[in-house]
Structure 1
Amino acid sequence: MLLRDIVSKLSLNAIGEVPDNLSVSGMGSLQAANNRQISFIVGRKYVKYLAETKACAVIMDYESLKDRLLPDVKFIILDSKNPYLAFAKATRLFYKGQEGIRELKTEGFIDKTSVKGVDTVLFKGVFVGSNTVIGDGCEIMNNAVIGRNVTIGNNVMIYPNVTVYDNSKIGNNCIVHAGSVIGSDGFGYARDKARYVKIIHSGYAILEDDVEIGANTTIDRGAVDFTEIGAGTKIDNLVQIAHNVIIGKNCAIAAQTGIAGSSVIGDNVTIGGQVGITGHIFIGNNVIIAAQSGVVNNIEDNEIVSGLPAFPIKDWRNSTVLFKKLPELFKKMKEIAKKRT
């Protein structure tokens, strides 16, 4: 793409002359970009790489970094108040999706009672059960299994080896990465003396519009109702979401998080990696949960928590400082006790 077209599409402010014929081949990091690529910088941590980068243009917040720039920078500055967002949008300009892979398609099996929309592609090894409806412009890749009575919206991308159980509902513009399972049985058993009796889960799983599910993530269906992932929510790889969990809109959940059954999570919640959330609790809107926290109680709106059990992060930081000082305090206590004896 021409750089001037990128500047226009992203509504960036170019500082420095943009040649009419300067063509850009893609994105690169400050360290690795070549002179046909553009890069970006957020904050001051990576300023040291600006002097060495070969990128032809760099997206940045110019006001916050201008005092750290050399007077003879060799790249064009693309000014943005939110350079990370501008970078994200720039990557989408260069993304060609699965256009090349489409040529490898062979018709997967689809039950005669099911329907697929216009321009929807089923790759080799795909199986679609009965009474399922798949919208327009979808790509369902090799060896994916779509069960019975499933509803899939428009422009959905399902990568290889995904399993979508019966009765699941997937909205528009969703992405489900390889190996993930949508609508599996929940971990529900009743104790009968020395053995467990399995609870048959008759519910289903819902992904609303614009949800993305990482690789090898599992979302269990409801026991009798449903498990729901709200619109715009992004879930990383290796996440476990149990039966009857309700997750709100525009949440971000990092890898190896586990959420136990029937917990309710509000909108715009950010959950770090390896967080454990117990069942049957409520987490409010705009909450941030730091990595490796263990959540065992309800959390109010707008809280930031950390630790096991999780509590307000300011208190957690103070506690961590004190914890580090325990050996020193213990030594002093022993010295005081010795003097008294």
Structure 2
Amino acid sequence: MTTFTAAEIAAHLKGTVIGDGSVLLTGFTCADRARAGDLTFAEKDTYFAAAEASAAAAILVAGDFPSATKTLIRVPNARIAAAKVLPLFFPFVQPVACLHGSSSIADSAKIDPTAHIGPHCVIGENVVIGARTVLTGGNHLAENCQLGDDVCLKPNVVLYARTQLGHRVTIHAGTVIGSDGYGYVFDQGRHLKMNQVGQVIIHDDVEIGANTAIDRGALGPTIIGAGTKIDNLVHVAHNVVMGKHCLVMGQVGFAGSTELKDYCVIASQSGIAGHLKLGPQATVGAKSGVMRDVAPKETVLGMPAMPDKQAKRQWIAVQKLPELMMRMRELEKQLAEIRAAALVAPAAKS
């Protein structure tokens, strides 16, 4: 069991201990699961109250929370501190270097001696695999793929020919990189396939979730920028270019040749039409359909997507429609009564 004192954790985080710095910490978890010896964290009042009432021995906090019963480790941002603490209690265990006997490896492949090639992998001609890279099992790497250092491919990840991965790229199970883009032309009553001869280039520190598909370019490359994080069940079509440090949530779909600049955020179940440009720090809200370019730092929502304030005004108006319909019917009824009375009045005079 790995243990640390509160003072050691504080030193690692460049934080401050409030209380007993010698208390031993044996784990890290959320407040409602904490046991004696655990460290937990709290970002706001309600979380802190739960943490203080828990069995945890110490709490990571940001702000002036006082406690008479717990050791506190005060940091600028509790969630960032939690992300930095987790590897201490749950360290990554580097698999031992090996070439599993059940794997098929082309003679021309160049594999760093520190790499781990798990069972039932297929490694094609002229593939290059960098230092400490891990293929966990069932991975298929077609010819001329290049993988940098410290790459991790989870089970059944497939890389089509000429895919390039930078350093420290993680791709989760079942994802396919470099499959054919969706390209057809209509000729003489049928759809003629346009061969997709490009590739996929993924830069350093990218993480891609499970069961995602990133298509290779029709001619040039599909590109994923450094530090970008893509969730599960995402489809990226041919020749999409993503900038650095973008965030793409689950079940998002990108049509071909769309360009995302740095730090874009695309929320779940959104669809982005083709040949669009999303400026730096653009944000697309959940379940949105983007049919036009998005300006830098602009937030859009809805179907079709529009500026967020405009979309919210429309949603509020839609919520009022049932009441407006009732009022409209009542006004129509009153108007009909007025008209009937007006018709009756001349007849009475005569």
Same fold (TM over 0.5): yes
Equivalent pairs, count: 332
For 1:264, give the aligned amino acid. E
Superposition deviation, residue 221 in structure 1: 0.4
Bigger Cα displacement from structure 2, 324-333 vs 10-19: 10-19
1:30 alignment partner AA: A
Asked whether 1:329 is paired with 2:331, we answer no
SS at match of 2:25: coil
* Aligned pair partner of 2:70 in 72, 75, 79: 75
Question: Are the counterparts in 2 of residues 31 and 52 from structure 1 also a CA contact under 8 Å?
Answer: no
Shift in Å, 1:110: 1.8
The answer for the alignment partner of 1:2 in structure 2 is: 4
Q: Does the aligned pair in 2 maintain the 1:174–1:211 contact within 8 Å?
A: yes
Encode CA deviations 1:264-318: one digit per residue, 9 max, x unaligned.
0110111111111111100001111111111111000001111111112122222
Q: CA deviation at 1:193?
A: 4.1
SS of the residue corresponding to residue 196 of structure 1 reads strand
CA contact (8 A) 2:97 2:114 kept: no
1-side partners of 2:277 and 2:16: how far apart? Answer: 44
CA 1:52 to 1:104, structure 2 compared with 1: closer, same or farther past 3 Å?
A: farther
Q: Give how far 1:104 is off.
A: 8.8
Residue segments in structure 1 that go unaligned for 5+ positions in a row: none
**TM-aligned CA distance change 1:25 to 1:103, over 3 Å:** farther
For 2:287, the equivalent position in structure 1 comes to 292
Secondary structure in structure 1 of the residue aligned to 2:84: helix
Distance in 2 of aligned mates of 1:94 and 1:232: 24
Question: Aligned letter for 2:14?
Answer: S
Distance 1:104 1:40 in 2: 39
CA distance in 1 between counterparts of 2:180 and 2:106 reads: 23
Task: Compute the displacement of 1:242 (Å).
Answer: 0.5
Cα distance in 1 for residues equivalent to 2:48 and 2:78: 14
Separation of aligned partners in 2, 1:165 and 1:158: 14
| Residue 217 (structure 1) aligns with | 212
Mapped partners of 2:252, 2:39: distance in 1: 34
Mapped pair 1:191 → 2:186? yes
- The alignment partner of 2:317 has SS state of helix
Amino acid at match of 1:36: G
1:130-145 to structure 2, matched below 5 A, reads 130-145=125-140
1:302-313 equivalences under 5 Å are 302-313=297-308
What does residue range 119-138 of structure 1 map to in structure 2 within 5 Å? 119-138=114-133
RMSD: 1.7
Deviation at 1:56, TM superposition (A): 1.4
Task: Write the distance in 2 (CA, Å) between the matches of 1:308 and 1:45.
Answer: 35
1:146 to 2:141 alignment: yes
Residue of structure 2 in register with 1:26 after alignment:
27
Q: Which residue of 2 aligns with 1:171?
A: 166
User: Residue 103 of structure 1: CA displacement?
Assistant: 8.6
Give 1:168's aligned amino acid. T
Q: Would you say 1:59 and 2:60 are equivalent positions?
A: yes
Per-residue deviation, 1:229? 0.3
| 8 A contact 2:97–2:113 mirrored in 1 | no
Aligned AA (1:170): L
Shift of 1:95: 3.0
Given residue 136 of structure 1, which amino acid in structure 2 is its aligned partner? A
Equivalent position to 1:17, from 20, 23, 29? 20
CA contact (8 A) 1:12 1:79 kept: yes
Moved more, 171-180 or 82-91: 82-91
Q: Distance in 2 between matches of 1:223 and 1:95?
A: 42
- Structure whose CA Rg is larger: 2
